[in-house]
Structure 1
Amino acid sequence: MYEQGYVNVNGGKVWYEIHNKDASGTPVIVLHGGPGSSSYSLQGLKELSKDRPVILYDQLGCGRSDRPEDESLWRINRFVEELAQIREALNLDEAHILGHSWGTTLAAAYALTQPAGIKSVIFSSPCLSAPLWEQDQKRNIEKLPLKIQETIKRCEENGTTDSEEFKEAIGEFNKRFVCRLDPYPQWLKEGAHFKNPEVYQIMWGPSEFSVMGNLKTFDCTSQLKEITCPTIFTCGRFDEATPASTEYFSSLASNSSFHVFENSAHLPYVEEPEEYLEVIYEFLKSVDQ
């Protein structure tokens, strides 16, 4: 059974959908990336619903959820509250959590409040330290052609990150470290209107490379040992969430495993969907057993 609807949260209404609502397995809640992106690119994860409910939702401010203009709403603590409100409204007493990218930031912050009933956390292409992420991107930029490196540096220094040349430079970065499929999937391009750049700008900044928003100092590495439920940390071999950092995060958690998707960048669920689904499915099954 499929269900979709809205949940009232602090600041407005949030859109959600549940695949296979009546299945007997422990539900999995999917937290999308961004901030300010949407669940659109993660639709393929409904394939995990053969034996459990899969819940996707668009965080407030993007996708099919309300887009209030109150800038004070765009802070991590409110998103943590939002997740708690969604769990309560949908009666998700027990759940697995699957976060991707910024969704892992949110997943960690939520798990560290020690909520009851969380069976496991999947950290997919994790961002658990903004300072470390920034360092990793500086190293990634150094792998690009010199001309692209110079464009990125110049535009960031001059504050011209809305220019066409900066967008083209980001395009080159994305081809290597975000999604390596060529051509880039048309269906992903069609979901661009679900994003809200303002949320991203306030929380993160003008680009992946320099964190200037209110997440600038976020770093939960010293607390990862407090997440005691089973965890799995995954990333692509060419991911902007680098294998080295992802494995480091995994080493800090108390009950964790680690997996690299060898032919992916930041979107293994799009780039290698069959392997991604198999790894996540097997992990969820092993926890439930």
Structure 2
Amino acid sequence: MKPGAWLMTALIAFALAGQALAAGGGKPVEGFVDTRDGRVFYRIHGQGKPGLPLLVVHGGPGANMQYLRPLAALADQRPVIFYDQLGGGDSDRPDDPALWNTARFVDELDQVRRALGLRRLFIVGQSWGAMLATQYVLSHGQEGVAGLILSGPLLSAPRWIADQRLLLAQTPPAIRQAVEKAEAAQSYDSPEYQRAMDVYYRRHLCRLDPWPDFLQESFARLALPVYLAMWGPSEFTCLGSLKEQDLSPRLGELLMPVLYVCGRFDEARPETVGWFAAQTPQGRLVVIEGASHSHHAERPEQFNQALRDFMAEVEASHRPLK
């Protein structure tokens, strides 16, 4: 797409999205933002509600908005905006490995925010989405971001990898041995490795049995080229471009209130997430008991209430950025 054409489509999308956010009630509003690299699908719940908008940044990389469906309940108070990152969900899926990097996804988030006219807002990032959202405010500026919510956050790949090894050490010996054997042989499609993934995921990714339909649907649509390029064959085997990324030294630069949320059995271990919160000037931690990485699905009422309380407090305080 030529630069002039991109600018024109962005302006049109901005105008349409502004109308959608100003409208009242009714069904969710859906559409596409024409980014420089392809169309990005979005869905807005609660248009016209009085609270500050909440922009939802999903994880993966390569996942989609579907697994975060419980957050739509927050649209009774404010607009809740979901979008599928390029390469996944209902967004375009270009066949270009050069696109699968953090900097491009950060720029995409900025394009989505601008196109939808979200001048002042909250941002919630889940899992890899937490790294994406945090990198966005650190690189594009914190103006207009009233508060940041980081759910099961991947903020330091080295710490994440170390935590997965600690959690793997708590699994039965046969599971650990299967992982070690597959990693040594790079045989990630082996039945033994796949079985180890299943056991691990049911402990630390989602403890519900069966998994909710929306979570299964989201996994079924995982954009594997993106996930494999940026992360690897599983949550506990990281071979991709994110392997060395670490935002933890910069958490002290976050000036807005930041809510950290994780489950007691989360892949993002409470000890690590608590340490992140301690590095953040206005950071606070909520640990959801009995839940894991999918705490938003396992304990939706508790998760959503934590977000409601946090956003209500920030809105009431009207604290400007320092």
TM score, norm. by length of structure 1? 0.98
Separation (CA, whole Å) in 2 of partners of 1:187 and 1:251:
33
Separation (CA, whole Å) in 2 of partners of 1:149 and 1:205:
18
Question: Shift of residue 44 of structure 1?
Answer: 1.2
Q: Does the residue aligned with 2:43 lie in a helix, a strand or coil?
A: strand
Q: Does the residue aligned with 2:310 lie in a helix, a strand or coil?
A: helix
Letter in 2 for 1:143: Q
- Which of 82, 93, 116 pairs up with 2:119? 93
Separation (CA, whole Å) in 1 of partners of 2:214 and 2:74:
20
- Which of 186, 195, 206 pairs up with 1:168? 195
Alignment of 1:1-289 (within 5 A): 1=25, 2-113=28-139, 114-289=141-316
Question: Shift of residue 115 of structure 1?
Answer: 3.9
Separation (CA, whole Å) in 2 of partners of 1:234 and 1:134:
19
Separation (CA, whole Å) in 1 of partners of 2:98 and 2:214:
32
Separation (CA, whole Å) in 2 of partners of 1:239 and 1:197:
22
Displaced runs of 4 or more, over 3 A: none
| CA deviation string 1:187-245 (max 9, x = no partner) | 42233332101101001112212321111110011100111100011100000100000
Query: What is the aligned-residue RMSD (CA, Å)?
Result: 1.0
Separation (CA, whole Å) in 2 of partners of 1:29 and 1:276:
16
Q: Does the residue aligned with 1:30 lie in a helix, a strand or coil?
A: strand
Separation (CA, whole Å) in 1 of partners of 2:61 and 2:214:
20
Letter in 2 for 1:112: L
Separation (CA, whole Å) in 2 of partners of 1:131 and 1:95:
30
Separation (CA, whole Å) in 2 of partners of 1:63 and 1:132:
28
| CA deviation string 1:116-142 (max 9, x = no partner) | 211110010011100000000001000
| CA deviation string 1:133-192 (max 9, x = no partner) | 000000100010000100011001101012222111100000111111122224422333
Structure 1: segments with no counterpart, 5+ residues: none
Letter in 1 for 2:30: Q
Letter in 2 for 1:279: A
Structure 2: segments with no counterpart, 5+ residues: 1-24, 317-322
Which structure has the bigger radius of gyration? 2
Q: Which moved more, 1:147-156 or 1:113-122?
A: 113-122
